[in-house]
Structure 1
Amino acid sequence: MKKWMLPAGVEEALPPVSWQLEDLRRKLLDYYRKSAYELVFPPLLEHLDALLTGTAQDLEQQIFKLTDPASGRLLGLRADMTPQAARIAARHYPAEAIVRLCYLGTVLRSQADDLGGPRSPRQVGCEIFGEPGIAADLEVLRVMLKTLKLAGVRGVHLDLGHVGIYRAQVASLGLDGEDEAALFDIVQRKSHPDLHEFAAARGLKPRVTRAVGELMDLHGEPKAVLARAREVLGANKTIRGALDTLAQTVGELSREMPKLPIHLDLSELRGYRYQTGMVFAAFVAGHGREIARGGRYDGVGAEFGAPRPATGFSADLNELLRLAA
């Protein structure tokens, strides 16, 4: 019996689910093709240092590692296809100003993102390289939401944030790496008592503590959050620009999809180590984790000699099928 058991978090697909997955795969890829995204099939196995560039900085503990008997170099099984798409864009499309790529394939992770979560997601996603403006962010958001609609997922609500706001606050504090990590943890937990204790121990000015505390409380309905954010955080030019980006994004999406629930959380810092701008995630009621996520990660490709702005999203096809109405 033990020989028949799959590793925890690893699953296989059998009929009729396998046919449903194939139908959905074809439907999504047809849509991406019509939307001018080029399909790429990155390899399952790569040199480890290539897999740990850009958006993969938080993935080292999730990558299965092995030594290549041919070269002696350390290899890794991909845990996320986004950094592979960035490598492909830098290596094979260096002369193109804007590159749109899509991908779909299984990734393998040594540990799940959440307790009991999958370790072999069937990842699908789209990335835009070379476009720094909000138009690319809006395009990716539209494609992500259309992906969920094509998958049959209903009752989607969208969370928006912007890591540039927190980055601007932290930059003015002059914290070392250890203290910055401690503050990041406090902000993620939205713990005001820990914030006051942290500030007192390091002699931070009361106005600084108030500003960070305000940031932790800035979540909810977009209009109210943006108004309060401009009132208490708007003196910084970088922060004003980030708030303008969020306001424009909310306005555009609300006009196009008036029934889409949108929630702002200005202390949501998923992907903080590599994300540089707006971040977003889609949720459905009764499901404890996001069903799709993405954001801006400018500067990607620098390790390959072709730095450029980028934004994109990804989702797990298996999970989307399970959530389909």
Structure 2
Amino acid sequence: MRNWLLPEYIEDILPADALRIEQLRRRLLDLYHVHGYQLVMPPMLEYMQSLMTGTGHDMELQTFQVVDQLSGRLMGLRADITPQVARIDAHLLNREGVTRLCYAGSVLHTVPSSYTGTREPLQIGAELYGHTGLESDIEIQRLMLQSLSLAGVKDIHLDLGHVAIFRSLVVRGGVSEELESELFKALQSKDIPTIRELSASLETETQKALLLLPELYGGLEVLAKASKCLPAYPEITQAIADLNAIAQQLQGVVDPCFDLAELRGYHYHSGVVFAAYSKGWANAIALGGRYDEVGKSFGRARPATGFSMDLRQILSLMLPPPVPAGILAPHLQDDVLQSTIDALRSKGEIVVVDLPGHESSQSELNCDRALKWVNNGWVVEQI
């Protein structure tokens, strides 16, 4: 057995990509910092009861579980950082006003989200607590779009939805919990024949509305059609008004599309949901939405909205920049040489000291210049 092999969908990040990911992480956290988002670092491991609070059954299936040798309780390796941040807001910070938090760290999934995905995403995101209005949803969406732009992602496409539309249909239509789950699955795949079969026993108005949802995808005309054709329940009317208002606020930033059958995180989110896509990439590259119920699950109701994305995935969308070359320096006990090296490094230059007794090729060291003694001083020359 080859003991250097890693599990499926788990891989090392090698120097060139590791540097790019770290540089992007720093730039994004700096962006969140100047917008007032404070960095938190939740633990990788928590009790399952805490990790699963308010997240639904799907997250439990994605979570690696272990037994704590100290307490005997079941623990989990986090599959999502957002619930942890909600716990920090609800129980540790315990603030009354608006709180803005951000984070960056690894999460672990029992199975990858796609055939080309990883089971160890590097999740980064921002969350805003304590505000119920659309202003906070729009702030988070703008920050997500800025993040993608900062990462150099081109042709960003934004999809918007609202879970209250489907939720109001099943509640007012008297749909059982089991049937709701089946309809949810069919809507995610836009399987109209299955939706028709599942909804056959429901009232005609409810069935027509459910069958219409997969077709409600597109520009602002979708909202006009939804307003005209869906039942005039207060929740649906308000959801459509919210989506219209967001579209107006994002004019000039992005032209959003609307997908009223999009229910990603349905058991987790409570209002507007959104996803960013990029040309040539099938899966969403950033996800977010409102999740007011999670704080309530922790015993302290706090409205919340946020987004997250995977730095590994974002890296695959970026054109690789040229790898910066360094300066090769000899290994000598020379104070002047050391001062020269320190000065170069303080300016951001990479200086690699060529250790004695271990010859390395210039390609391995990635140096295109060298420090040489010329005219009583150390100078940088091209190799």
Structure 2: how far apart are the matches of 1:84 and 1:254?
Answer: 33
Structure 2 match to 1:50: 50
Amino acid of the residue matched to residue 207 of structure 2? T
CA distance in 1, matches of 2:266, 2:134: 19
Secondary structure class of the residue paired with 1:69? coil
Structure 2: how far apart are the matches of 1:150 and 1:199? 45
Alignment of 1:1-325 (within 5 A): 2-55=2-55, 57-200=57-200, 202=201, 204-221=202-219, 223-233=220-230, 235-255=232-252, 257=253, 260-325=254-319
CA distance in 2 between partners of 1:26 and 1:56 (Å): 32
Higher helix fraction: Structure 1 or Structure 2?
1
Distance 1:215 1:319, change over 3 A: same
Inter-partner Cα distance in structure 2 for 1:276 and 1:152: 31
Counterpart contact for 1:56–1:80, Cα < 8 Å: no
Counterpart amino acid of residue 150 in structure 1: L
Runs of 4+ in structure 1 deviating by more than 4 angstroms, as ranges, are none
Distance 2:170 2:25 in 1: 42
Bigger mean CA offset, 137-146 vs 295-304: 295-304
Q: Is the 8 A contact 2:56 2:267 kept in 1?
A: no
Contact 1:130–1:310 at 8 Å: present in 2 too? yes
Query: Which amino acid is the alignment partner of residue 66 of structure 1?
Result: V
% identical equivalent positions = 45
Taking the aligned partners of 1:310 and 1:57, their CA distance within structure 2 comes to 20
- With over 3 angstroms needed to count, the CA separation of the structure-2 counterparts of 1:275 and 1:84, relative to structure 1, is same
For the Cα contact (< 8 Å) 2:161–2:260, is it kept in 1? yes
What is the distance in 1 between the residues matched to 2:4 and 2:206? 58
Q: TM-score normalised to the size of structure 1?
A: 0.94
Q: Which moved more, 1:178-187 or 1:120-129?
A: 178-187
- Cα distance in 2 for partners of 1:224, 1:297 equals 27
Contact 2:186 2:194 in 1 (8 A): yes
Cα distance change, pair 11–127 in 1 and its aligned pair in 2 (3 A): same
Alpha-carbon distance between aligned partners in 2 of 1:211 and 1:199, rounded to the nearest angstrom: 10
| Letter paired with 2:234 | K
SS at match of 1:302: helix
**Alignment deviations for residues 250-279 of structure 1 (CA, whole Å, 9 cap, x no partner):** 111114x1xx24211001100011111000
Q: Deviations for 1:178-226, whole angstroms, at most 9, x for unmatched residues?
A: 11112222222223322332233x2x232322121122211112x2101
Question: In structure 2, how many angstroms separate the alpha carbons of the residues matched to 1:12 and 1:265?
Answer: 36
One-letter amino acid matched to 1:248: A
Larger Rg: 2
Q: Which has the higher contact order (CA 8 A, sep 6+)?
A: 1
Q: Deviations over 1:53-89 (max 9, x none)?
A: 1236421111111111111111111111001000111
